[in-house]
Amino acid sequence: VATKALLEALPVAVMVINKALEIRLVNAAAEQLLGLSSGFLLRQNLIELVHEDAALVSLIHQVLREGRGVAEFGLSLGGPKISTQQLDVRITPIVDDGDHLVISLQECSMFRQIDSRLVQGRAARSIAGLTAVLAHEVKNPLSGIRGAAQLLEESVPDSDRELTQLICMESDRIRNLVDEMGLFSDDRSFQREPVNIHDVLSHVRKLAVTGFAADIGFRQQYDPSLPLVFGNRILSTPISFCR
Query: Domains of the chain: which residue ranges?
Result: 2-108, 110-185, 192-243
Q: Is the whole-model pTM more than 0.85?
A: no
Q: Which stretch, 5-9, 59-63, 93-97, 166-170, has highest mean pLDDT? A: 59-63
Residue 153, Cβ density class (10 Å: 0-12 exposed, 13-18 middle, ≥19 buried): middle
Of 233 and 42, more confident? 42
Alpha carbon distances (Å) from 80 to 51, 74, 83, 89: 7, 20, 8, 19
Is the pLDDT confidence value at 234 over 70?
Answer: no
Give the CATH number of domain 2-108; options: 3.40.630.30, 3.30.450.20, 3.40.50.300, 3.30.530.20.
Answer: 3.30.450.20
**Cβ pair 70, 63 in contact under 8 A:** yes
CA dihedral sign of residues 138, 140, 146, 151: negative
d(C-alpha 105, C-alpha 75), whole Å: 10
Contacts of 1 (CB under 8 A, 6+ apart): none
The mean-pLDDT minimum among 10-19, 37-46, 124-133, 152-161 falls in 124-133
| pLDDT reported for residue 122 | 65
**Spacing of C-alpha 180 from chain mean position:** 18
Of 91 and 97, more confident? 91
Residue 201: pLDDT band (50, 70, 90) is confident
d(C-alpha 235, C-alpha 28), whole Å: 58
**Cβ pair 13, 29 in contact under 8 A:** yes
| pLDDT reported for residue 90 | 92
